[in-house]
Structure 1
Amino acid sequence: MAKPALVASRFARYRNTLVISLVALLVLPLVFFLLKPAAVPDLAHGNLAGAKALSAGWAKGQMIVLIRHVERCDHSRAACLNLPDGITDRARDVAVGVGAQFEHLGLDKADIYHSPLTRAVQTSGYMFSKAGSGEDWLINCKRSMLRDALAHKVAGRNLVLVTHSECMAALEKALKLPSSTLGYGASLFVSTDTPGGRPHMLGFIEASDWRSVAFNRP
């Protein structure tokens, strides 16, 4: 008579174990999802709140923006502008177009720096009609990108940095954000207007997406 009771007890124990395992399988992915760092927001495609924050922060001189150089010639089959380590001829118009968008935002309160590599020098020249000697910290950036950017940020003035994808990734890492895959000419915006004083990632705009940014709409 005791045997059925023993079987029932074992079945109940196995059933409880199975239920716990199934619950764990359902809950763990949710926990990992909730703990995963948020992706960097896209400020284009009708992101009204993001566009408003960018416009307001820019007007107050509170922004740091990293801009990736436009298409590099040595990674493309397209014709070079002139130098093989520079940008492609077709990328010149992209640089001019992105520069026009920043002109629309306003550059009166902006300090502009660029990497010393040819592709960044040329990009900066066509975007902003500015191509100086270049800043080494905008190529040697993996360990100190955020620190160096903050050191060059002047209160009440926006900081514009023409640089490289690895420097953008270094900034994201310093802010404990997942790395984004941003295209040539993309802009990554960081706000310095935070209660605790720590920079806050606002988002990115790809070179081809500026027309879909909400503040550019009629």
Structure 2
Amino acid sequence: MLPGTTRNTVLSALKRQRLPAIRTMLIGLCVMLALATLTTWAATRTRIVDLGSDNQMHSSGVYSEWSKGAVIVLIRHAERCDRSSNTCLGDPTGITVAGSQAATDVGHGLQHLGLDSAKVLSSPQVRTRQTAHFIFGKAISSEEWVQQCDQDFAKTALAHKAPKHNLVLVTHSGCIDHMERQLKVPGGQRSSDYASALFVSVAANGKARILGQMNASEWQKILNSTRT
């Protein structure tokens, strides 16, 4: 038997030895928990694929989903006059000449996909109606909801998607942002350039997922690759 004082000294020494080990173990557990939480969060986020090549269009499922009539395309209007020093088409609330050319390039790309089974709508704003005109070569019907860029936009767009018919919307960056938010795209990836197109697939049960995004300048590259 150890004297009381000696025993207490030994116990105190043992406790002092255990504390760093326990502290290290707790820190390790906290780090593991944080990593697991971060991994779970990342797994639920949507990464937007750049559709700037024919291979990406195939691998992302754009071609196959489009052939089923299962796609919503959200196209941002082309470059607007009031925020550019480029030559304007005419109406100061509309788009620039450069923007009209970008919209024409988008139109060539969509024609390549095929528009026979597509419904096309535009926001009633001048810049979106002009963009739609240059994309499709004619005036396009406009509806008020296509410019209502709020938390209900994604739900409304999905409600207007008819089975086996693709839906093309010429709209605004704010509306595209709300669609991306609804489909869990992280803030750092939510962006849309002038005349860019966001492709969203809609399953038979109404569940939507983002296939990817195409910038206006990339359509010509797609067309060139399919001609060779």
Residue equivalent to 2:37 = 31
2:22 alignment partner AA: N
Unaligned runs of 5+ in 1: none
From 167, 178, 182, the counterpart of 2:192: 182
The alignment partner of 2:97 has SS state of coil
Partners in 1 of 2:223 and 2:203 — Cα distance? 21
- Give the whole-Å Cα distance in 2 for the aligned partners of 1:130 and 1:152: 22
Which whole-Å deviations, capped at 9, do the CAs of 1:81-124 have from their partners, x for residues lacking one? 21111111111111100110001111111111000111101100
- Are 1:142 and 2:150 an aligned pair? yes
Distance 1:177 1:122 in 2: 29
Kept in 2: contact 1:43–1:213 (CA 8 A): no
Kindly provide the amino acid, as one letter, of the partner of residue 194 in structure 2. Y
State the partner residue of 2:24: 18
C-alpha displacement of 1:133: 5.4
Structure 2: which 5+ residue stretches go unaligned? 1-5
Which residue does the alignment assign to 2:212?
203
Please tell me the residue identity of whatever aligns with 1:38. Answer: T
CA RMSD of aligned residues (A): 2.3
Pairs aligned (count)? 215
- Work out which of the two has the higher radius of gyration on C-alpha atoms and give 1 or 2: 2
User: 2:165 maps to which residue?
Assistant: 157
1:211–1:18 Cα change, 3 Å: farther
**Normalised TM-score (structure 2):** 0.84
Deviation at 1:20, TM superposition (A): 2.1
Aligned-pair distance for 1:213? 5.0
| Cα displacement (A) at 1:168 | 0.7
Give TM-score, length-normalised by structure 1. Answer: 0.87
Write the letter of the residue equivalent to 1:136. Answer: E
Cα drift, residue 67 of structure 1: 0.4
